[in-house]
Amino acid sequence: MAESPSAGSRSPLVDGLLLAAGTLSVFRVPAPSRVDRRRAGIAMAVTPVAALPLAVVVGGVLLLAHALDVPRLLSGAIAVGALALATRAIHLDGLADTADGLTAPYEPARRIEIMRAGDLGPAGAATLFLVLLLQAGALDVLAGVELGWLAAGVAVCVSRAATVLVCMRPVPAATPTGLGASVAGTVPVGTAVSVLMLMTAALCGALLLTPIDWWRGLLAVAIMIVAVGLLVRRCVTVLGGITGDVIGASIEVATVAVLFTITA
């Protein structure tokens, strides 16, 4: 959570990192000196870097659980719970709201109202259950793999690259206000491609240190791109664009895509 702005102005890169960390995690960081569309775009591009504390949380839980000989399935569940707490569960909330909004048989404005209301509907509940089950199962597998904790931590960072897909130009915002309006279309295509290439290299490199085939990193990022791309396309068609909830939903979808692909 961001604190009050301090005096003086920081570089756009530093402000972007602070904005990403303060917005998408529970960790307290100084507030950015300024918030504009340039800094918002940088924040979305550096989200995988800002997610390093989250990676430490997940990797640390799996490493500690292994040292304490905690049952693997329980290890995966604890890691998922720790990640949810470290993000204030805002991504899971966004996932549930997006599922409810996309399945509601109404016009776009009414769908967005349902998403903003935050009430958990049947579609949202079912989606949450499935996503949490898949994440816990995948982390359960990694808990039993040599250096699996490292792969899990890197996977958390890689999944946060979903933000560059959701906020890439020319994806529109569904509403004129809110987080979606602030970040929609702020990430240039070239930047998005660069981030995804770096994340692919990082994931493949991490997998090389484990018994898992390194090429699964390539496949995981490819599946993540397709899954998030389909979600964004559906949101643009049904809602008219993206919202903050859609960003959260995309991160959760990406997390499942990456973890499931490297462990299946």
219 lies in a domain?
A: yes
26 lies in a domain?
A: no
User: How confident is the model over 138-160, as a mean pLDDT?
Assistant: 95
36 lies in a domain?
A: no
The span from the CA of 60 to the CA of 66, in Å, is: 10
Q: Could you tell me which residues come within 8 angstroms of residue 236 by beta carbon, excluding any fewer than 6 positions away?
A: 171, 172, 242
106 lies in a domain?
A: yes
Instruction: Determine the pLDDT at residue 119.
Output: 84
24 lies in a domain?
A: no
Banded model confidence at residue 25, pLDDT cuts 50, 70, 90: confident
Banded model confidence at residue 2, pLDDT cuts 50, 70, 90: very low
Structural domain span for residue 103: 51-263
Instruction: Determine the pLDDT at residue 34.
Output: 86
Which runs of consecutive H residues, i.e. helices, occur in 25-121? Answer: 37-45, 47-50, 52-67, 72-86, 90-103, 108-117
77 lies in a domain?
A: yes
Instruction: Determine the pLDDT at residue 8.
Output: 62
Q: How far is CA 111 from the centre of its chain?
A: 22
9 lies in a domain?
A: no
Banded model confidence at residue 3, pLDDT cuts 50, 70, 90: very low
The span from the CA of 142 to the CA of 155, in Å, is: 11
Instruction: Determine the pLDDT at residue 237.
Output: 94
| Of 77, 50, 49, residue with least CA distance to 65 | 77
pLDDT in tens, 93-102: 999 999 999 9
- Total number of domains in the chain: 1
Share of the chain above pLDDT 90, in %: 77
195 lies in a domain?
A: yes
